[in-house]
Amino acid sequence: MATLREQIATNVLTVTRFRDLMKRMQANRPADDLELVKKAYDYSLHVHTGQSRASGEPYLVHPLEVALVLAEMKMDPIAVAAGLLHDSVEDTSVTIVDIRKEFGEQVAHIVEGVTKISKIDFATKEEQQAENLRKMMLAMVDDIHDQAG
């Protein structure tokens, strides 16, 4: 169990990164409704409460970093929400059905794709990260194609 000091440090760190994410989204996509991103952050924060990585870093830092990268790439709120949620299915009791119910089919599709790819064994961490990004982009292309079609 984390000490009160650790919990406060985690909250400050994740809230600061979330503010950075929202600023980036507002700057890059000013016309977008960011409520889905806020909802995904709140959900991820809730399901990862008390978790930390082997390094001691708060668990939520990684999904926030992924979401920031996606925001810098000017991805839409659906992709950024999926970035925030991608570890939830792997590392908590949350299921794809839960994600689909809370966030819709598009977000669930992306999260499911990233979850499936994480089960593949790669020679290096870099290969795995590259493949995760590739898979997320392919899932987003599928979604764009489905919307345009």
Give pTM, 2 decimals: 0.77
3-class SS of residue 97: helix
Q: Where are the domains of the chain?
A: 4-148
Question: At residue 82, does pLDDT exceed 60?
Answer: yes
The string of pLDDT tens digits covering residues 47-58 is 987 777 777 777
The string of pLDDT tens digits covering residues 23-64 is 999 999 999 999 999 999 999 988 987 777 777 777 888 899
Angle at CA of residue 42, ends 62 and 39, nearest 5°: 110
The mean of the pLDDT values for the chain is 83
Catalytic residue among 90, 105, 127, 146: 90
Annotated active-site residue 102? The verdict is no
For 102, residues 6+ apart whose C-beta sits below 8 A from its C-beta are: 39, 43
Catalytic residue among 91, 98, 102, 131: 91
Q: Given this model, what pLDDT does residue 118 score?
A: 58
16 or 5: which carries more pLDDT confidence?
Answer: 16
Annotated active-site residue 72? The verdict is no
Exposed (0-12), middle (13-18) or buried (19+): which is 80, by Cβ within 10 Å? buried
| Per-residue pLDDT band at 113 (split at 50, 70, 90) | confident
In this structure, which CATH number among 3.30.70.260, 3.40.190.10, 1.10.3210.10, 1.20.120.790 belongs to the domain 4-148? 1.10.3210.10
| Segment of 33-37, 116-120, 129-133 carrying the highest mean pLDDT | 33-37
112 close to 96: Cβ distance less than 8 angstroms: yes
Buried b (16+ CB within 10 A) or exposed e, 65-77: ebbbebbeeebbb
Tokens 């982009």, residue? 137
